[in-house]
Amino acid sequence: MATPAATKRLTKEYAAISKSPPPYIVAHPSERNILEWHYIITGPAETPYENGQYWGTLMFPPDYPFAPPAIRMHTPSGRFQPSTRLCLSISDFHPKSFNPAWEVSTILTGLLSFMTSEEMTTGSVRASDHERKLFATRTRWWNSTGGGSKATAAQSSSSSNTRGVGAIKAGDGGAKFHVEWPDIDDENAKWMKEKRINPQTGLPLPTQSQAPHCSPEVAGLRRRPNGSAAGVGAVVQGGQVAREAGQSWLGRNKWRIVIGSLLAYIFVARILGDGAISTSG
């Protein structure tokens, strides 16, 4: 339970961040627990995270601001392990280095700065810009569906670093996100419908225009009453007619001419042979 000092401080900070949010950042405390804050970072332009929707939590200690929060990012990003506590100078990994003058906006701005760098720490991962861009295109889908499927045994048996208050298990169907961000969740649902996103996979559904393309001629063959076999037969027959039309009379009858010439030669030879025998007799 939050101390009166923590409650007063966090209430003041919520009013300030609502009135003047930092660039690319929105945040609010949970209605049920003022120590549990939810944030969304929109991926900045000209970064691999551009237009991505990155949801995470800050879990403040009861004696805040004299101790820092646990920081997690639930949305897969290619930068952090999902729902894993991050080791940062502004997180609960380093309570002695935390400055009580730092506010929620300071913490989240620092997280965004670290996210767009390549510095490594506990909870961070390496990935190519291409991979991170692919993650960015699927963030809205992931947030509103929890990854598109129910949690598997492998997902449930996570490390101790992903357990505890504030951790989100993949496969919750987007239930937690919908509770904390109902308006944004509705926007995500409309976006997925407009983009024809498969809610199970996060990939676009195939459209008729993506079907294998064929020329009008081939399409006409497919519409023949006797089916494709008749169409193929017509093409073969048509080709034979075209080839015959292009040949000369001599080309089409050359074997007849050869055989006729051979028979004529034999006939003439026999006549000449019979005449020679008669003369000699």
- Confidence at residue 266, expressed as pLDDT on a 0 to 100 scale: 76
Q: Specify which of 18-32, 218-232, 249-263 reaches the highest per-range mean pLDDT.
A: 18-32
Domain residue spans of the chain: 4-205, 226-280
Q: Which of 98-107, 158-167, 192-201, 232-241 has the lowest mean pLDDT?
A: 232-241
Residue 158 pLDDT greater than 50, yes or no: no
Quick check: is 87 catalytic? yes
Over residues 176-221, the pLDDT tens digits come to 999 999 999 999 999 999 999 999 999 999 876 655 555 454 344 3
Where do runs of H (alpha helix) occur along 42-138? 104-115, 129-137
- In this prediction, residues 117-121 reach a mean pLDDT of 96
Amino acid at 92: D
Report the distance separating Cα 242 and Cα 51, nearest Å: 59
User: 213-238 as b/e, with b when 16 or more CB fall inside 10 Å?
Assistant: eeeeeeeebeeeeeeeeebeeeeeee
- In this prediction, residues 137-162 reach a mean pLDDT of 67
Confidence of residue 276 (pLDDT cuts 50, 70, 90): low
Among the listed residues 87, 134, 151, 189, the single catalytic one is: 87
- Confidence at residue 236, expressed as pLDDT on a 0 to 100 scale: 36
Confidence of residue 127 (pLDDT cuts 50, 70, 90): very high
Contact yes or no for 76/56 (Cβ under 8 A): no
Which class is 4-205 in CATH?
Answer: alpha beta
Contact yes or no for 62/84 (Cβ under 8 A): no
- Give percent of the chain above pLDDT 70: 70
Choose among 148, 20, 158, 32: nearest CA to 83.
158
More confident residue, 124 or 213: 124
Report the distance separating Cα 249 and Cα 135, nearest Å: 69
Contacts of 162 (CB under 8 A, 6+ apart): 81, 82, 83, 84, 85
Looking at residue 109, the DSSP 8-state letter turns out to be H
- In this prediction, residues 224-229 reach a mean pLDDT of 40
